[in-house]
Amino acid sequence: MLSLIKRRLRDYQPREIQKNYPQAGVLLAITDELHPKVVLTKRASRLSSHSGEIAFPGGKMDSTDTDIVFTALREAHEEINLLPSSVCVLNCLDDKVSLHKLKVTPCVGIIPADSMLVANEGELECLFKVPLSFFLERDNRCDHLSEYQSKAKYAPCFLYEGHLIWGLTSYILMEFLNITLQADIKLQERLHV
């Protein structure tokens, strides 16, 4: 699975949003093992934005950051103690605009499976890893009706060990799986069960 992910991302040309929104970088940290997992976090409930939500490690770009990959790696180090030198960055995915008008760039990197990750208690309630195969199983997906730009849309969501994975995090994951594993997940279609 990892060799396919690496091959498909090697030549991928991410679409960049040209609007002048504040920037943020997130890291899709994928473990280097036979059955790779993605690292996710649960934001602390006392935070002013996205409290209690499941997210990738990441955050806003600082004026001293050299680029958006640097931002994603710096934030991952601050939030989950992941050393930037231990991440093999493969590429970025398409920019997204969050509900709070941030331009979010997802960066994909491979990390050692035995990385000693620790949640920063000031920002996170916990961190956890989900096998990528979990997101490929149709029965694990549920739909959530949400409103975006005044339109009702069905958004993919997943419940993993009590953690609800939805919103922008879920969309980024689905795009990643479509690009790298050709999962052919329709993001605006409601599942019929």
pLDDT, tens digit, 9 for 90 and up, residues 72-119: 999 999 999 999 999 999 999 999 998 888 999 999 999 999 999 999
Which tokens belong to 94? 């398409």
Pick the residue with more confidence: 149 or 69? 69
Listed in sequence order, the residues at least 6 apart from 187 whose beta carbon sits closer than 8 Å to its beta carbon are 155, 156, 171, 174, 175
What whole-number distance in Å separates Cα of residue 25 and Cα of residue 7?
22
What pTM, to 2 d.p., does this model score?
A: 0.90
Which tokens belong to 60? 């806003």
The CATH number of domain 2-134, selected from 3.40.50.300, 3.30.420.40, 3.90.79.10, 3.40.50.1980: 3.90.79.10
Supply the mean pLDDT for the chain. Answer: 89
Model confidence at 6: pLDDT above 80? yes
Which tokens belong to 100? 């709070």
Name the pLDDT band for 192 (thresholds 50, 70, 90): very low
Q: Is 23 within 8 Å of 60 (Cβ atoms)?
A: yes
What whole-number distance in Å separates Cα of residue 18 and Cα of residue 180?
24
Domain layout of the chain by residue ranges: 2-134
Scanning 132-166, the segments in alpha helix (DSSP H) are: 132-136
| Predicted local distance difference test score (pLDDT) of residue 191 | 46
